[in-house]
Structure 1
Amino acid sequence: MSDALPEPDRVFGAPHPRDTPRLIGQGAAEQSFLEAFNTGRLHHGWLMIGPRGTGKATLAYRIARFLLSQPLQSDGGMFGAPEKPTSLDTDPKHPTARRISARAEPSLFVLRRGGAGSTDSDRQKNLEAGKFAADIRVDDVRKLNDFFNFSSAEGGRRVVIVDAADEMNVQAANALLKRLEEPPERATLLLISHQHSRLLPTIRSRCRELRISPLSEADMAEALRQALPETELNQAALAALTSGSVGEAIRMTNLSGLAIYGELVGLLASLPRMDRARALRLADAAAQRGAEDKLDMLVDLIALALARLARAGTLGTTPYPEAAQGEAEMIARLSPNPRQARRWAEVAQEVDAKLRHGRAVNLDPAALILDTLRHISQAAS
């Protein structure tokens, strides 16, 4: 694959997981895999589960570099058995590491969404334009046949990374299941999953789980310094809004998410008589041509604000630290008790349904956002 092709698993402005030098805050998962390798109990299928943006793909590429750079196990002959590795670290100058970084490693296959379209030519054209299919399709999975047939001549290990397994449609999932049921010799399949409950139970049962935890505030700060070394960040606010997901924090930083959330908090603070001029500015900004990512961000932040309202009223506390100036005062006024919290939880469900329907039928984004904000305003009244 050409290095110039866009990738659906890349967060704009941050290193791709294969190029991330260190995995921060996931030592337990690393040690679990390393123990299985060193004790000869290496399972052929691994399901890496946890919130989006917490390092699952980074760990998958670390494992791929590690496995493909390790000699095949043997008794060592007259020189004795090889020393067991103590970490998953791979020298970045190792030929395998260089090939993986260049997307030129023949023993690694990355299964992910391809270009949108119904024909091969349309899919290739859309892939080059960065227009990706909504799911991983059975034709994508069938490419594994060529990969395994071609790489079997090498006689070594083969690694497949599925990013993300949640994105497979039913036919693709069933095709991958056959591979998990009858894995090729020396093949390891690494399935990344943000919502593993959506996977087929039979896929989950044929994999060993590696749980990836949300990052602590200290680990997240370190991971953000690694990913965005030259960017000034409000780490406390990012941690509050992203629940320990460094990937989401990077996305929020690149799309000015904290500024958008600040505008949303200011708007909610004007309830029950919503500042209409401010609402219009927020809707218009998200509806501009080429602003689809910011629209997605605004939709996510509306859901997040409503969830924080509901949670605060239920617990009887206001969020600390604030994710935006005036947030604590706004939440204390709008959600002072569990009864109000239950109403905000209901509003969150209503808004989610409204937004999903509106986007499914391609409603005008500005009109959809204004209608959503009007619904929230009526609930506050």
Structure 2
Amino acid sequence: MSAAAERQRAAPAEPDRLEGFSSPREVDRVFGHEAAIAEFEDALRSGRMHHAWLLTGPEGIGKATLAYRFARTVLAHGGHHGEAEAIFRKVAALSHPNLLLLLRPYNEKTKRYGQWISVDEVRRLRAFLGNTAGESGWRVVIVDRADELNTNAANALLKALEEPPGQTLFLLISAAEGRLPVTIRSRARTLRLFPLQESDVERAVRAALARDGYETDEATLATALALAQGSVRRALELISSEGIGLYGEIIDTFARLPELDATRLHKVVDGLSNASESERLELYFSLLLGLIERLIRFAATGEGATDRERELGLRLLSRANLAYWAGAWEAIAEERSEAIALNLDKSLLVLDTWFRLQKLAREHPV
């Protein structure tokens, strides 16, 4: 069992934690995002720190890791350098009295996380912000993720953002900025984060593997890095799960278009449509959409694909049919989100996706 897996036994439940690896609050180094770090620390040093920051960007690029770094920086501000290690330990354990984490609650009866951050969760702010028994200095509230607030919870958070106590910092994490009410966005300073450079992804992934005692071979690592698209989480998912195998299945199916192997496809569907396989289904569609996105980019620019993907791109895509492929990407992404949000039939989702791609390859060939 890895070091991270041992810690998870006693760790508070976190809906987005990647099994087998450290939580972002347990990571002591951020790779990339230098401009965002400089902007935040300049604001702190200048004494003109905005009370709320919105950290937004794609999944898995280090938004939460960066938020916890900011929290530690603020909690240590004005103190002694020797306190940094103690603050890191307290933040990692969520035991610092001046730190509050708001997230989707876990239901012990159903063994599932709630779909939304509830108003009861946000009401914890009242006691936290009114508490005078904590350590002196800044108080930090991390909302992970802010786009998962339900309507009542968002309204409750808005009240706190409108009249925050002095030396209070809100760090709102979001992968879907557009889902946040405009009223909340308007009261936060936005830091838009972007996919990491390949070198930063590799350094972060190697650091995670070493920190958590996870071993992999260089071939698997190289494939995961090639498919990561600037996301550390994506690379680690590929390494630690069946992600490499799922990607191989996807690209093999693509290679047969416009034909489909019905027997093989139904076997894949059976393995993805069970309720217990929701994370695997999410990874499958992330890999599929990522592949289509890279093929579109390759057809448009001649860049952004692996050797095998380039072969597929040359056979299936051209500038003449590029708009159709872009439209298919948007439709699949929308249908995936709708099926997950409304708990629709996942087997039909997978089948409809491949029938859509088959029709596209037949009707709009190169």
TM-score when normalising by structure 1:
0.82
CA distance in 1, matches of 2:343, 2:63: 33
TM-superposition CA deviations, 1:139-174 (whole Å, max 9, x none): 211110011122466443211111111111222222
Residues 7-156 of structure 1: pairs in structure 2 closer than 5 A: 7-71=14-78, 91-92=84-85, 94=86, 96-115=87-106, 123-126=107-110, 129=111, 131-151=112-132, 154-156=135-137
**Cα deviation per residue 1:301-332 (whole Å; 9 max; x = unaligned)?**
222233333333333x264434xxx3221221
Query: Is this contact kept in 2: 1:50–1:195, CA < 8 A?
Result: yes
What's 2:198 paired with? 217
Gap change, CA 1:68 and 1:241, over 3 Å in 2: same
Instruction: Name which of 233, 249, 264 aligns with 2:235.
Output: 249
Distance across 1 between alignment mates of 2:330 and 2:173: 28
Among candidates 263, 276, 281, match of residue 277 of structure 1? 263
The whole-number CA distance in structure 2 between the counterparts of 1:358 and 1:189 is 32
1:94-141 CA distance string (max 9 Å, x none): 2x22222222111100011113xxxxxxx4544xx3x11111122211
- Specify the code of the residue in structure 1 equivalent to 2:294: R
Return the offset for 1:9: 3.2
Deviations along 1:245-291, one digit per CA (max 9) or x if unpaired, are: 11222223223222211211111111122222332232233235632
Q: Secondary structure at the match of 2:358?
A: helix
| Conserved? CA contact 1:255–1:297, under 8 Å | no
Q: CA RMSD in A?
A: 2.6
CA spacing shift, 1:350–1:208, aligned 2, 3 Å: closer
Cα shift readout 1:174-199 (whole Å, capped 9, x = no counterpart) = 22111111011221111112222332
Tell me if the contact between 2:143 and 2:172 (Cα under 8 Å) persists in the aligned partners: yes
Structure 2 residue aligned with 1:327:
309
Q: Tell me, yes or no, if the aligned pair for 2:339 and 2:349 is still in contact at 8 Å.
A: yes
Alignment map for 1:247-326 (pairs within 5 Å): 247-288=233-274, 290-315=276-301, 317=302, 319-322=304-307, 326=308
The question of whether the paired residues in 1 share the 8 Å contact of 2:221 and 2:239 is answered with no
Q: Could you tell me whether the CA contact under 8 Å between 1:51 and 1:213 is conserved in 2?
A: yes
Which of 157, 165, 173 in structure 2 is aligned with 1:184? Answer: 165
Give 1:12 shift.
1.7
- Distance in 1 between residues matched to 2:340 and 2:181, nearest whole Å: 27
Pairwise CA distance, 1:20: 0.6
Letter in 2 for 1:14: F
Aligned-partner Cα distance in 2 for 1:59–1:359:
28
Percent identity, aligned pairs only? 38
Q: Which amino acid aligns with 1:247?
A: R
Question: Aligned letter for 2:193?
Answer: I
**SS of equivalent residue, structure 1 residue 238:** helix
Where does the alignment leave 5 or more consecutive residues of structure 2 unmatched? Answer: 1-8
Structure 1's 349 and 211: CA in aligned 2 closer, same or farther, altered over 3 A? closer
| Pairwise CA distance, 1:30 | 1.9
Q: In structure 1, how many angstroms separate the alpha carbons of the residues matched to 2:24 and 2:247? A: 27
Does the 8 Å CA contact 1:303/1:352 hold for their aligned counterparts?
Answer: yes
Deviates more, 1:295-304 or 1:180-189: 295-304
Please tell me the residue identity of whatever aligns with 1:184.
P
Letter in 2 for 1:35: D
Whether 1:228 and 2:228 are equivalent positions in the alignment is no
Once residues 355 and 194 of structure 1 are traced to their aligned partners in structure 2, the CA distance between those partners, rounded to angstroms, is 16
Give the partner amino acid of 2:129. Answer: F
> Residue 330 of structure 1 aligns to which amino acid in structure 2?
L
Q: CA deviation at 1:244?
A: 0.7
Do the aligned partners of residues 29 and 285 (structure 1) sit closer, same or farther apart at CA in structure 2, a change above 3 Å counting?
Answer: same
Residue type of the alignment partner of 2:328: V
Which residue of the other structure, out of 137, 158, 161, is the alignment partner of 2:142? 161
2:154 to 173, 184, 201: 173
CA displacement at 1:350 relative to structure 2 = 3.6
**Partner Cα distance (1:158, 1:104) in 2:** 13
In structure 2, relative to structure 1, the CA distance for the partners of 1:4 and 1:58 (3 Å cut) is closer
2:37 partner letter: E
Deviations 1:313-369 (A, max 9, x none): 333x264434xxx3221221011x222222222223343454455556655533442
Opposite residue 165 of structure 1, the aligned amino acid is A
**Contact in 1 for aligned 2:143/2:171 (Cα 8 Å):** yes
Residue of structure 2 aligned with 1:344, choices 325, 331, 335? 325
After superposing the two structures, state which structure 1 stretch, 195-204 or 232-241, moved more. Answer: 232-241
Q: Quick check: 1:312–1:319 contact (8 Å CA) kept in 2?
A: yes
In structure 2, relative to structure 1, the CA distance for the partners of 1:349 and 1:185 (3 Å cut) is closer
